[in-house]
Structure 1
Amino acid sequence: MPDSMQSLDPMKSEGVLEAHKGAIYRRVTRRLMPFLMLCYVVAYLDRINIGFAKSSMELDLGFSDAVYGLGAGLFFIAYFFFEVPSNMLMHRIGARATISRIMILWGIVSGCTALVTQEWQFYLLRLLLGAAEAGFYPGILLLLTYWFPAQRRAKAVAFFVIAIPLSGVLGGPVSGLVIGSTHTLLNLANWQWLFIIEAIPSIVLGVIAYYYLDNRPREAKWLTDAEAGVIEADLRADADKAGSVSGKTVTSFLGTFRNKWVALLSLLVLCQALGIYGLSFWLPTLVTGVGITGPIAIGLFSAIPFGLAIVSIVLTGRNSDRLTERRWHLVVPFTVAAVGLTLSALLTGRPVLGIVAISLAAIGCYTTTSQVWTVVPAFMTGVGAAAGIAVVNSIGNLGGFLAPYFVGATSSATGSPAVGLIGIAGTLLLGAALTLVLPRDRVNR
């Protein structure tokens, strides 16, 4: 046998490489995804627990639906302004320090919401919470681009986004239990206990994140040099392929603002965010509207749509990677979300049909969220990805301000959230149409 063959590193042999790749990425998935999912579960709970606190806060503090809607949405105004700087800082100092800092700060601010007595305090703390959490979601998405190439990323993103409905499966019953069982405990209202109890895990996980996470494959002591090299070779090949297909890939900070696809992607994510936050912030109200009463019952029934959404996210992400097809895996959930949200707004006083409709809305909205973030990174790489993902997410997530405020304002004016939710359903159909504009050779990889 020639000396060159005898000295060949087995991990660099194509056959051996392919045989080991699946095991390497499964190892990465087991190491990263459960922890990142857990972090996002507590992040999302701290973001939407205000939906479960809404009725008690309004009763104790005299807040109207319009005040609640504005306060819920102000989170995203601060989020908008701080997201790009946070992601650019993460690209420089790494995910470990960035995610740790974000989680500790938002836990502290969220817990302080228990001290609110006036409208301006409510508004201020929601702004501070948005500033504290800015960069977390796009930071995780950026981190995934450092560990998973495009052809494996849909499944990874799907696992991460599962954390959103999982927070509903866990958070609905837990929040309902806290609201239903802690009234006047130690002279604190039940909604105050909700903010205090659900803030603690964020602070604890923020400390753990600093010691647990690794910024890049080469820094991971739990990978061999050869295994890290396999991942980095895949990522380099991925970046080279991105530059060979239609359109211009964003590779720099300034390029983010010159690329023609950034505006379209921002609008696409805006449509997605309008749907998911319109549903998330008003889900307890929708469950009440279909005829289910009592905080514990509302929490338990709220978990059903989230549980079904988890199944949809997993199956859709797996099928999207298997077929290497992204566009229709995004168009269909957009459409299902629009239909479900419309029906859930109309089926008042009908518990069974109402929960089915809300479940369709949840399946569509949360599956859309997982799939849209397999599409966005296809248009950017390198430092351009750090800026581009943050820009698209920050602009898109203005939907987190617009959705609760719009539904709250129309609810105060009409006595029902139906008009606002049907309006949001229309933007979901717009999202489906925008998806079809994206170039197939860019997206389907």
Structure 2
Amino acid sequence: MQPAIPHSSTSVAQTRVTAKVFRRVIPFLVICLVFHTLDRINLGFAALAMNKDLGLDPAVFGLAAGIGGISYIIAEIPSNIAMSRFGARVWLSRIMITWGIAAAATALVVGPRSFFLVRFLLGLAEAGFLPGVFLYLTYWIPESSRARATSIFLLAQPVTFVLGGAISGQMLGMTGIAGLAGWKWLYILQGLPAVALGIVGLFFLTDKPEKARWLSSSEKSELAAILGHHTDYVERGQWRLLPKVLRNPAVLLLGLAYFGLPSSLSSYAAWAPLIVQDVLPKAGFLRLGEILALPPLVCVVVMSLWGKSSDRSGERVWHTVLPVLVAAAGWLLIAFSNTPVVRLLGLTAAITGSFAAQAIFWTIATLAFPPHTRPVGIATVSTIGLLGGAVSPFVVGVANHAAGNFKGGLIWIASLLFVTAVCVLAASRRNTPRDEFPQKTQKASDRIV
């Protein structure tokens, strides 16, 4: 299953067209992911003021954080299948428009029930965005460059954590403007830009290379030569493939391997501000935002280097396992220390390891499926894994509510990450590693599905 060393005979023309695709496709997707990530992390910052206003205890807040994950999971596979039918231009744009509306509508909640409802609708609206983009990248980016492309795309998340902390801190300070609480302004101002991006996406995104007016005929030919069989994907009949995908042990193993990463990242987004506030109770919102900008800043540097290292060496498995173990160690540091510096070090390890591993994991997971099963296959792996993202914030909240500290919940997350490392290693041994990516077709024996 492990992808191999990039093909060395890529022509200058192919290198140029790949670079042109990068410049066209990746920046817009990065901007979209910025606002997708803001929508994820603003919950944790809003909680600093919102929980008191709405009367939410840690268990109820954790449940609300998990409810969005549950509805996301429900709609994940249907969303990816719909994208394969309607195209990325329409479907990714639809996702952004509806999630932006739902995110901004969170400003209207008045209590736990309405909060649960909006979180559920938000999960439905944004379901399929990340797996949809991962699928979309297989249509445009050669396998030999995909770890770098995925890492650059996912860099938007830690970058947003850096900027989002400061931005969210400022927005929480807007209380009283137009008679609204600061946390309401936070949801409004971070939700509506996604609507605008979705409208832009309808005109900017291109479904497939052969439809790209911004590529010349020769560039399309060069790109097709690099992508080879990856341009040959089907758009219909995905539901008929689902039973086969669900019965495949390797697919389930990949899903279980992914389980720990959303658990780690969603728990960081939901609880990092409160974890820091727990040991720095006198810190203001702006100060907390500044402190929480440091871990993702380190993550940005490490991720960019880690993706290049994986593509350069062609190694994927240990480039996933090692950062997963770093993330697990980070959560354990937080669990067993009340020292602010040690907790900050733990948060840095947790977010850096989780993001670095996620980028390389999806390079492995997308290669595990032949093109005709990728829409349902990628969504299935994502859906299984995202159960962790739905459950873990709630587990952390319940543990905190019961024990009065984060220790039990954070040990749970670290344990899931150890399971992730074991499952990635186990999955890598199901198939024989390949020395090169095939340029045309691939034997069925080389694929997981």
Give the structure-2-normalised TM-score. 0.90
Structure 2 residue 402 is matched with structure 1 residue 417:
no
How far did residue 112 of structure 1 move? 0.8
Query: Relative contact order (alpha carbons < 8 A, sep ≥ 6): 1 or 2 greater?
Result: 2
In structure 1, the partner of 2:93 is 100
- C-alpha distance in 2, partners of 1:372/1:239? 22
Structure 1 residue corresponding to 2:303, chosen from 300, 308, 313: 313
- C-alpha distance in 1, partners of 2:8/2:112? 64
How far did residue 234 of structure 1 move? 2.3
How far did residue 111 of structure 1 move? 0.7
Q: Over aligned residue pairs, what C-alpha RMSD do you find? A: 2.1
Residues 48, 274 of structure 2: 8 Å contact kept: no
How far did residue 329 of structure 1 move? 0.2
Structure 2 residue corresponding to 1:162, chosen from 155, 158, 163: 155
Deviations 1:319-367 (A, max 9, x none): 001111001001100100001111023322x333322221111111111
- 3-state SS of the aligned residue for 2:110? coil
Structure 2 residue 21 is matched with structure 1 residue 28:
yes
- C-alpha distance in 1, partners of 2:300/2:48? 27
In structure 2, the partner of 1:396 is 385
Structure 2 residue corresponding to 1:285, chosen from 252, 274, 299: 274
Structure 1 residue corresponding to 2:251, chosen from 262, 266, 289: 262
In structure 2, the partner of 1:225 is 217
Structure 2 residue corresponding to 1:351, chosen from 323, 328, 340: 340
Structure 2 counterparts to residues 40-59 of structure 1, below 5 A:
40-59=33-52
Residues 38, 164 of structure 2: 8 Å contact kept: yes
Cα distance, 1:409–1:34 mapped onto 2, change above 3 Å: same
Structure 2 residue corresponding to 1:369, chosen from 358, 361, 371: 358
- C-alpha distance in 2, partners of 1:326/1:16? 21
- 3-state SS of the aligned residue for 2:427? coil
Which sections of structure 1, spanning at least 5 residues, go unmatched? 1-13, 241-249
Aligned AA (1:113): T
- 3-state SS of the aligned residue for 2:287? helix
Residues 95, 143 of structure 1: 8 Å contact kept: yes
In structure 2, the partner of 1:193 is 185
Structure 2 residue 195 is matched with structure 1 residue 203:
yes
How far did residue 149 of structure 1 move? 2.2
How far did residue 371 of structure 1 move? 1.4
Aligned AA (1:297): R
Residues 142, 226 of structure 2: 8 Å contact kept: yes
In structure 2, the partner of 1:122 is 115
Residues 71, 124 of structure 2: 8 Å contact kept: yes
In structure 1, the partner of 2:316 is 326
Residues 52, 176 of structure 1: 8 Å contact kept: yes
Residues 255, 384 of structure 1: 8 Å contact kept: no
Which sections of structure 2, spanning at least 5 residues, go unmatched? 1-6, 233-238, 438-449
Structure 2 counterparts to residues 132-151 of structure 1, below 5 A:
132-151=125-144
- C-alpha distance in 2, partners of 1:15/1:434? 31
Structure 2 residue 64 is matched with structure 1 residue 71:
yes
- 3-state SS of the aligned residue for 1:438? helix
Structure 2 residue corresponding to 1:337, chosen from 304, 327, 331: 327
- C-alpha distance in 1, partners of 2:73/2:349? 29
- 3-state SS of the aligned residue for 1:398? helix
Cα distance, 1:313–1:17 mapped onto 2, change above 3 Å: closer
Residues 253, 383 of structure 1: 8 Å contact kept: no
Deviations 1:204-239 (A, max 9, x none): 101001100111111111111221222222222569
- C-alpha distance in 2, partners of 1:36/1:304? 24
Cα distance, 1:397–1:442 mapped onto 2, change above 3 Å: farther
- 3-state SS of the aligned residue for 2:140? coil
Deviations 1:288-336 (A, max 9, x none): 2343711001111111111111111111110001111001001100100
Aligned AA (2:203): Y
- C-alpha distance in 2, partners of 1:251/1:146? 22
How far did residue 254 of structure 1 move? 4.2
Residues 252, 383 of structure 1: 8 Å contact kept: no
Cα distance, 1:17–1:47 mapped onto 2, change above 3 Å: closer
In structure 1, the partner of 2:447 is none
Residues 106, 184 of structure 2: 8 Å contact kept: yes
Structure 2 residue 418 is matched with structure 1 residue 429:
yes
Residues 172, 300 of structure 1: 8 Å contact kept: yes
- C-alpha distance in 1, partners of 2:180/2:336? 37
- C-alpha distance in 2, partners of 1:153/1:423? 31
Structure 1 residue corresponding to 2:175, chosen from 175, 183, 189: 183
- C-alpha distance in 1, partners of 2:23/2:276? 35
Structure 2 residue corresponding to 1:80, chosen from 73, 78, 82: 73
Aligned AA (1:416): N
Structure 1 residue corresponding to 2:227, chosen from 216, 232, 235: 235
Residues 138, 230 of structure 2: 8 Å contact kept: no
Cα distance, 1:161–1:436 mapped onto 2, change above 3 Å: same
- C-alpha distance in 2, partners of 1:395/1:174? 32
Structure 2 residue 120 is matched with structure 1 residue 131:
no
Residues 264, 389 of structure 2: 8 Å contact kept: no
- C-alpha distance in 2, partners of 1:44/1:18? 37
- C-alpha distance in 2, partners of 1:238/1:182? 49
- C-alpha distance in 2, partners of 1:239/1:184? 54
Cα distance, 1:443–1:46 mapped onto 2, change above 3 Å: farther
Structure 2 residue 38 is matched with structure 1 residue 38:
no
Residues 65, 408 of structure 1: 8 Å contact kept: yes
Percent of aligned pairs with the same amino acid: 38
Residues 46, 183 of structure 2: 8 Å contact kept: yes
- C-alpha distance in 2, partners of 1:311/1:353? 20
- C-alpha distance in 1, partners of 2:422/2:220? 40
- C-alpha distance in 1, partners of 2:10/2:335? 52
Aligned AA (2:269): S
